[in-house]
Chain A
Amino acid sequence: MKHVIVGGGPAGVTAAETLRKVEPTADITLIGGEAGPPYCRMAIPYYLAGNIAEQGTYFRHEGDHYARLGIRYLNDRVEAISATDGRIRLAGGVDLAYDRLLLATGSRPAMLPAPGLDTPGVYSCWTLDDARQIAARATAGAEVVLIGAGFVACIIMQALAHRGMKLTVVAGSSGRMVRSMMDETAGDLIMRWCREHGVSVLTGQRVAAIEDGPTVVLADGQALKANLVVVASGVRPNSEFAAAAGVTVEEGIVVDGYLKTSVEGIFAAGDVAQGLDFSTRTRSVHAIQPTATEHGRVAALNMAGRSVAYRGSLGMNVLDSLGLISSSFGQWQGVAGGEAAIHLDAARYRYMDLKFDGDRLIGVNSVGRTENLGALRGLIQKRVRLGAWKDRLMANPYRFMEALVAVTA
């Protein structure tokens, strides 16, 4: 059996390793689009902050890891898929046959709808190479304008602040931070915390253009001169070549409960895949590390012919913004008719908001808490009937760990 995996991120690497475990003699090729060994994008901010060396971002630390497992690792990019004859063509000219193909091509930064993105000094912070370029220019005291205020932007902000840079964040017209990760109360706490910690956060502003300098020009005419501009205003799935091959693509590449796409023999996993959502039972793109590895594992088992159903991915994030730690899980927006247990102490930056459906926990917004956070996932994922513990949580939402122990131990 010939397995070809496109994408050297967590989904691709997990899939390759899982396939090797269950098919000791299969032919496995892993294709990574960037030079060097497979690394984890999530680790980039820690490299940028100077906490780890480049090698610290690698998925596996033994130099011969892939060769030792008999996984052929190629640095190349896919140009086209021919699903009818089971072949893919790579940019470097290689033409590969496959029996099973996994598309784990991830996502890329969304383009800002403003001219001047190619101005010198303007970067995305998405690849290790981007991080190298930024690190070379990110000297202490330098001025940086960060465009975007979502999860990725916030984590880059943390890294740049750690390097002693002066930060201005352009939060966009919504005026909110982390708006696709958490509710407005949490976003407002994070914004106030960032401002108190020396970051200038501009709201209600749209970027009109980036000019030489680099200078960020806002819609109201304000010009922000900087040493460095970092654009982090969202990501888009790398799904175009799949669509061109006839694979069904909506928000991402649509996959069924077995990570299969609409085309026989082709699977998808990770940030590029629109798979079963544990909470809503619809299909969502959950571009997070735990989903990528789960997808990679389940896709590989199905590529190997085992019929393994995926229980669905649970959206969850944890963010450290200049020392304030926030997290969210599942349906943090809540559902119609569901109750919420809320504790807010804005002065101390503490917020806990548990969302229920009946007596089951279905979602969480949390700020200022790090202890036992995983228990929240446990309660949601096990669909625990809380019974009397729901009333106790309504009175004090911080008792969630006790609730888990009481109900399950």
Chain B
Amino acid sequence: MLKSLHIDPDKCTSCLLCELACSFENEEVFNPAKSRIKVFTFHDQGRYVPYTCTQCAEAWCMSACPVDAISVDRATGAKVVSDDLCVGCKVCTIACPFGTVNYNHDTGKVIKCDLCGGEPACAAMCPTGAITYVDADWTGYDKMRRWAGKTDAGPQAHA
């Protein structure tokens, strides 16, 4: 069964271990600037939001790539950049409406989350369970449950 990253901002403490884990796993340096996952801080709300590629079904990056350098990893469902094929044209970086495909000046290629081949380092290192790697169906179920909870509240309010 396909798995996906599940992010629960309410559990995030902004410890940034995910960013360190990602940059070390993928770039072999402890440098949050090279991380493919970023934690956004909203001080006024005391809210921290880890954010990365959702491996979206539309795959804007993949369809915009002119040289077929982005493909689906059949094992994980991740959209993966081939360094051998990427020419560094950056069209995917403007096509992705989530802003999660970025140009790497050092290599002249683009980088994005590839789920670490099925063992995402960010989820493994997250100490609070804000980032988990779970069955894709479960995240769907979770969404449905939350939605059902909201609709349940409606009639109760009138009761």
Contact = CB atoms under 8 A, between A and B. Distances in A.
A56 B90 contact: no
Contact of A409 (B49, B60, B93, B94): B49
A370 B105 contact: yes
A105 interface: no
B97 A377 contact: yes
Given A40-B67, A57-B67, A409-B9, A377 B40 contact: no
B27 interface: no
Interface in A332-364: none
B129 interface: no
Contacts of A290: 60, 63-64, 91, 95
Interface stretch (B18-26, B81-89, B113-121): B81-89
Given A42-B66, A290-B91, A409-B51, A378 B105 contact: no
A135 interface: no
Contact of A378 (B66, B68, B99, B102): B99
A373 B66 contact: no
Contacts of A374: 60, 92-101
Contacts of B100: 372, 374
A60 interface: yes
A384 to B, nearest CB: 10
Contact of B91 (A57, A289, A375): A289
A325 interface: yes
A378 B97 contact: yes
A393 to B, nearest CB: 14
A405 B49 contact: yes
B118 to A, nearest CB: 24
Interface residues of B, number: 32
A372 B99 contact: yes
Interface in A1-37: 10, 14
A66 to B, nearest CB: 13
B143 to A, nearest CB: 14
B147 interface: no
B30 interface: no
Given A373-B99, A374-B96, A375-B97, A406 B40 contact: yes
B99 A401 contact: yes
A68 interface: no
Contact of A43 (B38, B89, B108): B89
Contact of A370 (B38, B64, B68, B102): B102
Contact of A382 (B9, B51, B97): B97
Nearest to A62: B68
A320 interface: yes
B63 A293 contact: yes
Contact of B102 (A60, A293, A372): A372
A178 B95 CA distance: 20
B68 A405 contact: no
A405 B40 CA distance: 8
Interface in A313-345: 316-318, 320, 325, 327, 329
A289 B94 contact: no
A307 interface: no
Nearest to B39: A405
A172 B127 CA distance: 60
Nearest to B7: A409
A59 B64 CA distance: 11
Given A43-B87, A51-B87, A56-B87, A373 B64 contact: no
Nearest to A293: B63
B94 A329 contact: yes
Nearest to A59: B68
Most buried by A among B97, B103, B105: B97
Given A370-B102, A406-B40, A409-B51, A46 B63 contact: no
Contacts of A372: 99-100, 102
Interface string B112-141: 000000000000000000000000000000
Given A374-B93, A376-B94, 7 more contacts: A59-B68, A290-B95, A325-B103, A370-B105, A371-B99, A377-B97, A378-B98
29 contacts: A14-B63, A42-B66, A43-B67, A43-B89, A46-B89, A56-B85, A58-B67, A58-B68, A59-B67, A59-B68, A61-B85, A289-B64, A290-B64, A320-B88, A370-B93, A370-B102, A372-B100, A372-B102, A374-B92, A377-B97, A381-B97, A401-B38, A401-B40, A401-B99, A404-B98, A404-B99, A405-B40, A405-B51, A409-B49
The 10 tightest CB contacts between A and B, nearest first, are A375-B99, A378-B97, A372-B99, A374-B96, A46-B87, A40-B66, A374-B99, A42-B66, A370-B103, A318-B90
